Structure 1
Amino acid sequence: MQAFSQGILRHKWLVLILFLAAAAVSAVLARQVKVNYQLMDYLPEDSPSTIALDVMNEAFDKPVPNLRVMVRDVSIPEALEYKKEIGAVEGVTEITWLDDEVSLEEPTETMDQETLHSWYKDGNALFSVTVDSDLVDTAVPEIRNIVGDQGAVAGDAASLSQTRQTLGSEMKLIMLMVIPLTLIILFISTSSWFEPLLFMVSVGVAILLNNGTNLIFGQVSFITMTTASVLQLAVSMDYSIFLLHRFAEFRREGMDVKEAMARAMEKSFSSILASALTTVIGFAALLFMRFKLGPDMGIVLAKGIVFSLLSVLFFLPVITVFTYKIIDITHHRSFLPSFAGFGKAVTKVFIPAVVVVAIVIVPAYLAQQNNHFIFGSSAMSSDETSQVYRDEEAIDALFGKFNQMVLLVPAGDAAKEAILTDELDEIPSVTSVVSYSNSVGTVIPQEFVPADSLEYLVSGGYSRMIVTVGASQESNEAFTAVEQIRKTAEDVYGDGYYLAGGSANVYDMRDTVIADNKVVAIIGIIGIGLVVLLTFRSISIPIILLLTIETSIWINLSIPYFLGNSMAYLGFIIISSVQLGATVDYAILMTNRYIENRRSHAKKAAISQTVANTTASILTSAGILASAGFILGEISSNGMVGEFGILIGRGAALSAAMVLLFLPAMLYFCDGIIQKTTLGLKFYKPERKG
């Protein structure tokens, strides 16, 4: 390690140029990385709804509608004018209204009232629109302008447009708020006005390298794009602090700058590597999810930590050596108080801390398992302040829930298709079925049907049925309908059918991510447990540390249950790994210092001294992560990303509280067990008098 550190400092100009050049290139490459906003694209390739979508896209050129547009207070002739104007918008490939189902020459009083009220009700018109997914950014806003403030635009295309339009601006705003707040925390907790700027430069270069190298994947999910940089900044700041604190210690001992930095790199290497390794393992556990959003996020987050580690080991030492004189002249006293009094206070609440945790741990564990979960894209627009949410509520209030699925069956047997159509109509939650048999009839041969009418329902050897369910996409009623539709189709066609659509996708997603949760949790706990076991060479310490952090995770995830709020299941899985990987370092830091102090002090004095020594570092790390999370949650208009931010912020605060209050009690009460189950560990024993 000595040769490595000296080699870095000897070639400091080369290291500086290479990192700055790589960062500049990465900044350019990052702009070429595409963002995927479709959660359904991350379903496993062998899931039934994924296969169904692939078959439908191959067999049919015309997609199904993805937008509902409502216009208020219009007559039928005025509604036809709106239909014409919306249909002319670039990106709109098809628009359907009442005139496509019935003749408007017929008086409304004699029309089928159910059909009439599904398109025109109380002077309000509802259009079914298909928008090209590549043009939603321009088409949806233009449609909104046409219908005005009194109109409403909802559906997958509207959600996609909103997410795309807000992502870039919100990311900039989030970073513009996170960076100054992080600097303020660092100014308070360090003893130099310039050191925090070095920390930011070091992490900033690592973030650029991470974002630029995402190009090797071609694209990343919008959740990864929104959260990765913020998490990398907040989680990896510790590594820079570890190194420069050691550097300052050795300089105070009288060493020159290069020698102090070389020694700092040697002495801090193991602690920085162990800290980074636990975080990487926590993030890498997401790679084992079958739902591919987990690997998408896990690989980017883990890669980011690796780049942060490289930046601290190579780049930060170099720029510190170049700028140490500025560090010296910008020195200031620490603004943090002594935590000696807090350390003594903690030793007086051992029993209450253990009792409180013993009381809440089981209810918290059970509550977090029984949250009301949202599994699909509806979590993105669940923010009640969003335009998409308000518009969808307005349309549902007038016209009811509208949830379409597509059922593909082999073409050519009109009679068999008619039987299936009738049986689907009998399902309680199904409000309508549009198929070749009930639109054209079973008597007219396909060769006599106009091509433009035929290609929407029959193509590529398949007949397409549009099944509408009067239930929310992620409701139990919709999931029951999925099961009933699949069972009905199987009874008529065997395995020769395919069901696609929002509820079918979410149904498959639900089954996938629930199975993923167990895998991710087990791998994360085992992986980090092994790192802690090898670091401390102890059997008991991993159990104590994991109990501390897992309890804070359970409390964090149980809060939505007790507040009666729904929760995105993806956030539930991801936060379990992220909070464990990002905050177990607090527990490792405290335990390490406790063992060090315990070698020369009685256990109560060692606890007091340890808490006093580590509180500032833990509060700094947790403060940065909590601030970043809460800012992300407050600013993001995407319901899923915003919820993820709140969970991160609250999780950091809870982990810090558990480490500062509960872990010291566990170390105190398990002192004897720790000594007996840790290899080569000998604690201080006071000499007996007499």
Structure 2
Amino acid sequence: MERYTQFLLKHKKLIIGVFVLAAVLCAVLSGLVGVNYNFADYLPDDAASTRALEVMDEEYSQSVPNMRVLVYEVSIPQALAYKEKIADVDGVEEVNWLDDAVDIYEPLELAEQKTVEDWYKDGNALFSVTVDEKKQDSVIPAVREIIGEENCMSGTAVTSVLAPVNTSVEVQQIMFLAVPIIFLILILTTNSWFEPVLFMITIGVAILINRGTNLMFGTVSFVTNAAGSVLQLAVSMDYSIFLLHRFSENREEGLPVEKAMIEAVKQSVGSILSSGLTTVTGFLALVLMRFKIGPDMGWVMSKAIVLSLVSVLCFLPALAISTYRLIDKTQHRTFVPKFDKFAGLVMKLRIPALALVILILPVSFLGQMKNDFFYGGSQVYSTQATQMGRDMEAIDKMFGSSNPVVLMVPKGDMEKEIAMNEELKKLDCVTSVVSYVNSVGNAIPSSFLPSETVSRLYSAHYSRFVITMEAEEKDPDWYEKVNDIRNIGEKYYGDKSQYAGDLVSTEDLKTTITQDNAKVNFLAIAFVFCILLVNFKSLSLPVILTLVIESSIWINLGIPYFRGQTLFYIGYLIISTVQLGATIDYAILFSDRYMDFRKTLPKKEAAFMTLRTCTISILTSAAVLTLAGVILGKVSTNGVLSQLGILIGRGAALSFVLVIFVLPTLLILFDGVIRRTTLHCDFFRKEKEMAETGKAADKEE
């Protein structure tokens, strides 16, 4: 490492220039990276709903209805006029309304009232619209212009267009709040006004390079795009803190500037790489998920951490040496008090703290296994803080929850279609069925009908049933309602029936990502364990450290259960690996220092000295990650991002508490086991000291 650091310092201007140029170029390229907000696009290619969508694309020009439009206080002729205007918008494939379900030219009193009220209620009309996904950016504002601001629209087409605008604004707000707060934390925990600037520049350059190089993926998920920069900033800030703290310590010992940096890199590279690699492997575990948001976030965030490591180990040494005079000129008194009294208090409370955690842990473990979840994206933007959320609530309040399911069956057997159509209509959860036999009737041959009417329902090989369900994901029995429709289709057509729609995709999501959970968690733990095994050359320390952080994860995920909160499963799945990878650093740093002190001190004194010297570094890192998570959680109106932020922030705080209050006790209790299961373990022992003292006395004689 000495030659490497000498090379960096010799060519420091070139190194700084390369990183700055790369950051500027990638800042421009980041604007070209697409963002995908559609959960269904991240289903595995072999999922049943994915195959059904492919069949529908091949067989029909229309896809699944993806927007609901509510127009207040209109007569039937006015509603038909609105329907025609909406249908004329370029990119609108189909508009369904009351006239597709009943004969509106007969008195509505004679029609089935339940069906009528699903489309037209108290003079208010609800349209079901199918929008071409490729043209929805122009369709949504066009429809809004037709219906006006006072009316409402909701659905995945609306979300896909408006969510990027909202999220972009929110990401700016999050960074605007997070950066000053993180900067303030760094000022309070360092001795120079300029050191925090170095930290922020170093990680800021890594963030810009990461965002620009995301262009290699073409598009990234909304979760990755919105949370990635905040996570990278919060998670990788440790590395620069570790390096500059060592640099400052070496200079205080009287080393020349360049020698101090060379030694700092040598001293900290092990901890930095171990911390970085555990975080990278935590994110890489997500790559093995079948639900594609996992690989999306896994690759992007693994790359982000690697770039942060490169920036800290290449860019920061060159930058710090070039500006060390500014560090010296901007020195200030220490704002944070010494941690001697705190370390003493922790040592006194260590047994009660361990006992408390042992009592809480089984309850938390069981609680986190019984959480309720949202698996799809229907509830992501249900907050009242946005127009999307307000419109969604207004439509649901007036007409109830509604989700379209498209059922496609092989055409040709009219008797089966009639029987299946009648059985579908009898389901309590079904509010309407738009099909050939229901809309046209079996008495009229398809050859006598306009080709446009036939093509909507009949293709070359399939007959299409557009079923409107009174159900949404927040209903406890939504899964059973989807299965009721599936069972009817399979009763008549077996495995030849095809299903598509938001709830059908959500059903596939539930199956896919619950299968991913155990695999991803196991692999994340295994990866981290292997890195700890190599780093510490110990069989026992990896078990102790992993157990401490996993305990904090169980407590973190058990809290929502006891609060009666429903979690988005994708956030639940991601936090398990992110919290492990991001906060295992605290345990690594603590154990590294403990092992160093243990060479010259008894176990209790070693634990005390570790608390005294490490608490400030761990507190800084945990505070940064906690506040970044809380800001993300409070500012974002995206339900997944908001929950993920809160879980990350709370998880960082819990990991800090367990590392500081529980890990020292475990290291003391298992001191003998650690000594016997660790290679080249040279722990201080009184017998050893006495033997060495005796040898020295013999030599003197």
| TM-score, shorter chain, exceeding 0.5 | yes
Aligned amino acid, residue 132 of structure 2: D
Shift of 1:634: 0.8
1:575 aligns with 2:575: yes
Cα 1:112–1:486 change in 2 (3 A) is closer
Does residue 659 in structure 1 map to residue 655 in structure 2?
Answer: no
Shift of 1:87: 4.3
Aligned position for 1:262:
262
After the TM superposition, which of the residue ranges 448-457 and 111-120 deviates more from structure 2?
A: 111-120
Could you tell me which residue of structure 2 aligns to residue 482 of structure 1?
482
The structure-2 alpha-carbon separation of the partners of 1:292 and 1:425, relative to structure 1 and needing over 3 Å to count, comes to same
Aligned pair in 2 of structure 1 residues 55, 29: CA closer, same or farther (>3 Å)? same
* Pair 1:229 & 2:229 matched: yes
The whole-number CA distance in structure 1 between the counterparts of 2:281 and 2:272 is: 14
2:160 maps to which residue? 160
CA distance in 2 between counterparts of 1:91 and 1:192 reads 58
> What residue number does 1:650 align with?
650
Distance in 2, Cα, partners of 1:335 & 1:401:
55
Hey, what's the Cα distance between the residues in 1 that align with 2:65 and 2:391?
Answer: 17
Give the Cα–Cα distance (whole angstroms) in 2 for the partners of residues 298 and 235 of structure 1: 14
User: CA shift at 1:91, angstroms?
Assistant: 4.3
Aligned length: 690
Partner of 1:281: 281
**Corresponding residue SS for 1:378:** coil
User: How far is the alpha carbon of 1:441 from its aligned partner?
Assistant: 2.5
585-594 vs 676-685, which moves further: 676-685
- Cα deviation for residue 144 of structure 1 reads 4.3
8 A Cα contact 1:376 1:474, kept in partner: no
Matches within 5 A, 1:376-395: 376-395=376-395
Contact 1:374 1:568 (C-alpha < 8 Å) held by counterparts:
yes
Partner residue, 1:617 = 617
Q: What amino acid is the match of 1:175?
A: M
Query: Between the two proteins, what is the percent identity of the paired residues?
Result: 49
The corresponding residue for 2:628 is 628
Q: Is the 8 A contact 1:159 1:380 kept in 2?
A: no
Partner deviation per Cα, 1:377-426 (whole Å, 9 max, x = no partner): 02412434343333333222322221211111122332232232233334
CA offsets 1:148-203 (integer angstroms, 9 cap, x no match): 56533222222223312211111111111111111111111111111111111111
Give the C-alpha shift of residue 480 in structure 1.
Answer: 1.5
SS at match of 2:477: helix
Corresponding position of 2:560: 560
Determine the structure 2 residue equivalent to 1:70: 70
Question: Structure 1: how far apart are the matches of 2:77 and 2:51?
Answer: 42
Structure 1 portions without partners, runs of 5+: none
Decide which moves more: 284-293 or 675-684: 675-684
Task: Say whether the 8 Å CA contact 1:630–1:646 is kept in structure 2.
Answer: yes
Q: For 1:22-59, what per-residue CA distance to the aligned partner results, in whole angstroms no more than 9, with x for missing partners?
A: 22221121111111111111111001111111111121
Q: Is the 8 A contact 2:521 2:576 kept in 1?
A: yes
| Mean CA deviation greater in 161-170 or 80-89 | 80-89
Amino acid at match of 2:675: Q
Deviation at 1:557, TM superposition (A): 0.7
Moved more, 600-609 or 424-433: 424-433
Show CA shifts across 1:60-95 (max 9, x none).
112232111222333334434444554455544433
SS of residue in 1 equivalent to 2:191: coil
Measured after TM superposition, the shift of residue 677 of structure 1 is 1.8
CA distance in 2, matches of 1:152, 1:488: 33
Aligned mates of 2:564, 2:476 — CA distance in 1: 18
After alignment, is 115-124 or 280-289 more displaced? 115-124
- Would the aligned equivalents of 2:382 and 2:393 in 1 still touch at CA under 8 Å? no
Q: 1:116 to 1:410 in 2, by over 3 A?
A: same
Aligned-pair distance for 1:580?
Answer: 0.3
Give the stretch that moved more between structures: 71-80 or 456-465. 71-80
How far apart, in 1, do the equivalents of 2:433 and 2:79 lie? 25
Task: Output the TM-score relative to the length of structure 1.
Answer: 0.96
**1:24 maps to 2:24:** yes
Amino acid across the alignment from 1:436: Y
| Contact 1:90-1:139 within 8 A present in 2 as well | yes
Tell me, yes or no, if the aligned pair for 2:204 and 2:233 is still in contact at 8 Å. Answer: yes
Q: Which whole-Å CA distance do the structure 1 matches of 2:106 and 2:410 have between them? A: 36
Helix, strand or coil for the counterpart of 1:348?
helix
The aligned counterpart of 1:112 is 112
Measured in 2, the distance between the counterparts of 1:346 and 1:152 equals 57
Name the structure 2 match of 1:239: 239
Give the distance between the partners of 1:523 and 1:507, measured in 2 at CA. 25
Read off the aligned partner of 1:52 and give its amino acid letter.
A
Q: CA deviation at 1:626?
A: 0.7
CA distance in 2 between partners of 1:75 and 1:436 (Å) = 27
Instruction: Describe how 1:11-410 pairs up with structure 2 within 5 A.
Output: 11-87=11-87, 89=89, 91-141=91-141, 143-144=143-144, 146-148=146-148, 150-410=150-410
Aligned-pair CA distance for 1:467: 1.7
Alpha-carbon separation, structure 1, partners of 2:658 and 2:487: 49
Indicate the larger mover: 316-325 or 112-121.
Answer: 112-121
Mapped to 2, the partners of 1:540 and 1:121 lie a distance apart of 68
User: Structure 1 residue 147: deviation in Å?
Assistant: 4.2
* Residue-by-residue CA offset, 1:613-659 (whole Å, 9 max, x unaligned): 11100110001111111111111111111111111111111110111
Q: Which amino acid aligns with 2:21?
A: A
Residue range with higher mean Cα deviation, 412-421 or 218-227:
412-421
1:287 CA displacement: 0.8
Task: Determine helix, strand or coil for the equivalent of 1:433.
Answer: strand
Amino acid at match of 2:564: G
How far apart, in 2, do the equivalents of 1:546 and 1:444 lie?
70
Displacement after TM superposition at 1:495 (Å): 2.1
| Higher mean C-alpha deviation, range 148-157 or range 570-579 | 148-157
Measured in 1, the distance between the counterparts of 2:331 and 2:8 equals: 26
CA distance in 2, matches of 1:110, 1:290: 51
Q: What's the offset of the Cα at 1:100?
A: 4.0
Task: Please report how far the alpha carbon of residue 572 of structure 1 lies from its aligned counterpart in structure 2 after TM superposition.
Answer: 0.6
Q: Which amino acid aligns with 1:549?
A: I
Structure 1 pair 135/173, CA: closer, same or farther in 2 (3 Å)? farther
The answer as to whether partners of 1:72 and 1:123 remain within 8 angstroms in 2 is yes
Q: Deviations over 1:442-482 (max 9, x none)?
A: 34332222111011111242211112222214544332233
Contact 2:115 2:432 in 1 (8 A): no
Which deviates more, 101-110 or 499-508?
101-110
| Contact preservation (8 Å) 2:383, 2:390 | no
Match of 1:6 in 2: 6
In the aligned structure 2, how far is the partner of 1:393 from the partner of 1:262? 61
Alpha carbons 1:189, 1:620 under 8 Å: kept: yes
Aligned to 1:546: 546
Q: 2:114–2:431: 8 Å Cα contact kept in structure 1? A: no
CA contact (8 A) 2:423 2:488 kept: yes
Which residue in the other structure is 2:521 paired with? Answer: 521
Higher mean C-alpha deviation, range 294-303 or range 5-14: 5-14
1:31 aligned counterpart, secondary structure:
helix
Contact 2:152–2:395 (8 Å) recurs in 1: yes
Q: Give the counterpart letter for 2:358 in structure 1.
A: A
Contact 2:379 2:474 in 1 (8 A): no
Answer whether contact 2:188 2:336 (CA < 8 A) is retained.
Answer: yes
Question: Structure 1 CA distance, aligned partners of 2:508 and 2:544?
Answer: 37
**What CA distance in whole angstroms lies between the structure 2 residues aligned with 1:111 and 1:498?**
30
**Cα distance change of structure 1 residues 446 and 105 upon mapping to structure 2, 3 Å threshold:** closer
Q: CA deviation at 1:228?
A: 0.7
Task: Out of 49-58 and 253-262, give the one that drifted further.
Answer: 253-262
Aligned to 1:584: 584
In 2, the alpha carbon distance for the partners of 1:636 and 1:138 equals: 25
Deviations along 1:332-358, one digit per CA (max 9) or x if unpaired, are: 122111001000111111221111111
Give the drift of 1:102: 4.1
- AA aligned to 2:630 is F
Distance 1:298 1:205 in 2: 20
Moved more, 568-577 or 167-176: 167-176
